[in-house]
Amino acid sequence: MTQYSIAIDIGASSGRLIHGYVEDEVMKIEEVHRFENKLIVKQDTFIWDVDRLFEEIKNGLRICRDRGLQVDTIGIDTWAVDFVLLDENGERLTDAVAYRDKRTDGMMEEVFALIPKEQLYFETGIQFQKFNTIYQLQALKKSNPEVFERAKHFLMIPDYLNYLLTGQMSNEYTNATSTQLLNAFTKRWDTDLLQTLGMNPELFQEILPPKTILGSLKKELAVELGMNPLIVLPATHDTGSAIISVPEQDAIYLSSGTWSLMGVENRFPICTKRAEDFNFTNEGGIDYRFRFLKNIMGLWMIQEVKRNYENQYSFADLVKMAKETDFQAIVDVNDDRFLKPANMIISIQTVCKETGQAIPQTPGEVAKCVYDSLASCYHKTILEIEAIYDRSYDRISVIGGGSQNELLNQTLANISGKEVYAGPIEATAIGNIVAQQMALGVLDDIDVARQIIRESFEVKRYWPVSPVTI
């Protein structure tokens, strides 16, 4: 019998509800509702408006009801690392402070003073980024110790939204790995690490894996929305869901969106000194697979460039203008100055000036600088992966919204000398639905799911032509 699922996929710039199901070994999806998500400023702090996000989720479910769409299960995924703390009554004590906020400045060094950097990597396997949850918690503990002491429950963003839907508290595995507080080998909260940092292990919930059926809607919500589906945990970290959708096996994947996540799928963590030196991460995936990857700044840069030009150019316009110029300059896209600059264009120009390169002036030159810089970083990351694995790869599988950028795909093929496969576009929502369908027994396993994905969604292919060095 056909089972119908809703993927609630919320990223840093937008959220969407996707209705999907599998029938005759083909997956079909339809967007039902889309809404904006953005950072807001509250008392000089960047936060997410999680209350509005929850209202948008309910709005989308009402649309499903009004359209007569059957909904058997719901799964939520969002970005990683951010969280809220709740008191003993389950009331929120903290805002959902955004990872781009400056509160974590200097916190990595404070944590390293308590636990050596090398030990932290060996135990957790997680890439060092100043916005990781561990450093956010350290900042909160330092700035608001009274709030930290009152807190009884730690929930990441999708955990909190699931709590609002069901009343059940848990921490989902794939997102929990991004905190840098999970032991990569035991797959449980590292209590020794938490105690060393002065954090109460009882603050954290039971870790549940993807495909867990969390429960039903709270009774009042079921009445309000006119439905009573099961809430199923997908890989609640959006990249974890996206990687489920990689159709090409034995390929390096690139999940391309606001962030770029590039790596390979593993059955075990790689916590070696070389992996640490290259700053790779071992994030959890479905069926306890590991996503050995590197976080790269991604299309956030071009999103900000577009905004800084007051949205007078579309993304397609910026690609077209980039194609029409032969401008060349490369910046380090992972420079912290690009994380949340006052003006992305000025930041790019400043870095080009500091490094003695030509300074982009026109929108086309700025866009080409971003795309070339991303492709250059992707290529460097590919070489690092091949060095760690002591092998070469022939293919790159680009998934997510960024897979539509033909200029970036072709530039990546040219600079890497590898075939690039682009698609599916809605990779995260598809992976979210896959986990729900597996929980229901509709799909047997991940290999069956990926075969169905290959047959159900378009994938474009790019061959290296006119090899370039940038």
Q: What is the pLDDT of residues 241-259, one digit of tens each?
A: 999 999 878 999 999 999 9
- HEC string of the chain equals CCCCEEEEEECCCEEEEEEEEEECCEEEEEEEEEEECCCEEECCEEEECHHHHHHHHHHHHHHHHHHCCCCCEEEEEECCCCEEEECCCCCECCCEECCCCHHHCCHHHHHHHHCCHHHHHHHHCCCCCCCCHHHHHHHHHHHCHHHHHHCCEEEEHHHHHHHHHHCCCCEEHHHHHCCCCECCCCCCECHHHHHHCCCCHHHECCEECCCCEEEECCHHHHHHHCCCCEEECCCCEHHHHHHHCCCCCCCEEEEECCCEEEEEEECCCCCCHHHHHCCCEEEECHHHCEEEEEEECCCHHHHHHHHHCCCCCCHHHHHHHHHCCCCCCCCCCCCHHHCCCCCHHHHHHHHHHHCCCCCCCCHHHHHHHHHHHHHHHHHHHHHHHHHHHCCCCCEEEEECHHHHCHHHHHHHHHHHCCEEEECCCCHHHHHHHHHHHHHCCCCCCHHHHHHHHHHHCCCEEECCCCCCCC
Please name each of the domains of the chain with its CATH number.
5-232 (3.30.420.40), 246-423+440-470 (3.30.420.40)
pLDDT of residue 466: 72
The amino acid that residue 220 corresponds to is E
pLDDT at 469: 59
pLDDT for the residue 283: 97
pLDDT, position 249 = 80
* Cis, bond preceding 360 (omega within 30 deg of 0): no
Of 401, 369, 372, 356, give the one whose Cα is nearest residue 305. Answer: 369
Cα separation of 229 and 272, whole Å?
44
d(CA 205, CA 155): 8
CA atoms within 13 Å, Cβ hemisphere of 162: 31
**How many CB atoms are closer than 10 A to CB 355?**
11
pLDDT confidence of residue 470? 57
Going residue by residue through the chain, which has 470 residues, state the pLDDT in tens, using 9 for 90 and above.
899 999 999 998 899 999 999 999 999 999 999 999 999 999 999 999 999 999 999 999 999 999 999 999 999 999 999 999 999 999 999 999 999 999 999 999 999 999 999 999 999 999 999 999 999 999 999 999 999 999 999 999 999 999 999 999 999 999 999 999 999 999 999 999 999 999 999 999 999 999 999 999 999 999 999 999 999 999 999 999 999 999 878 999 999 999 999 999 999 999 999 999 999 999 999 999 999 999 999 999 999 999 999 999 999 999 999 999 999 999 999 999 999 999 999 999 999 999 999 999 999 999 999 999 999 999 999 999 999 999 999 999 999 999 999 999 999 999 999 999 999 999 999 999 999 999 999 999 999 999 999 999 999 999 999 766 55
- Nearest alpha carbon to residue 278 among 253, 295, 259: 295
What integer pLDDT is reported at residue 468 of this predicted model?
A: 62
The predicted pLDDT at position 467 comes to 62
Q: What are the C-alpha distances in Å from 295 to residues 254, 263, 298, 382, 410? A: 10, 9, 8, 13, 21
CA-only gyration radius of the chain, Å: 22
Whole-model pTM? 0.94
| Tokens 């120009």 -> residue | 349
31, amino acid identity: E
pLDDT for the residue numbered 45: 97
The pLDDT of residue 95 = 97
Instruction: Say if residue 54 is exposed, middle or buried (CB neighbours under 10 Å; 0-12, 13-18, 19+).
Output: middle
Cα–Cα–Cα angle for 9, 10, 14, rounded to 5 degrees: 120
* Selected catalytic residue, list 77, 82, 101, 238: 238
Please report, as a single letter, which amino acid is at residue 134: I
**What confidence score (pLDDT) does residue 1 get?**
86
Residue at 378: amino acid letter? Y
Q: Are 455 and 25 in contact (CB under 8 A)?
A: yes
CA dist 202 and 153 (Å) reads 8
How confident is the model over 34-79, as pLDDT tens digits?
A: 999 999 999 999 999 999 999 999 999 999 999 999 999 999 999 9
Instruction: Tell me the residue type at 19.
Output: H
> What is each CA distance from 352 to 207, 327, 359, 405, in whole angstroms?
45, 12, 6, 24
Handedness of CA 354, 357, 359, 364 (dihedral sign): negative
b/e sequence 392-416, b meaning 16+ C-beta within 10 Å: ebebbbbbbbbbbbebbbbbbbbbb
Report yes or no: 194 and 123 within 8 Å, Cβ to Cβ: no
Distance of CA 203 to the CA centre of its chain: 24
Catalytic annotation present for 238: yes
What is the end-to-end Cα distance of the chain in Å, rounded?
Answer: 53
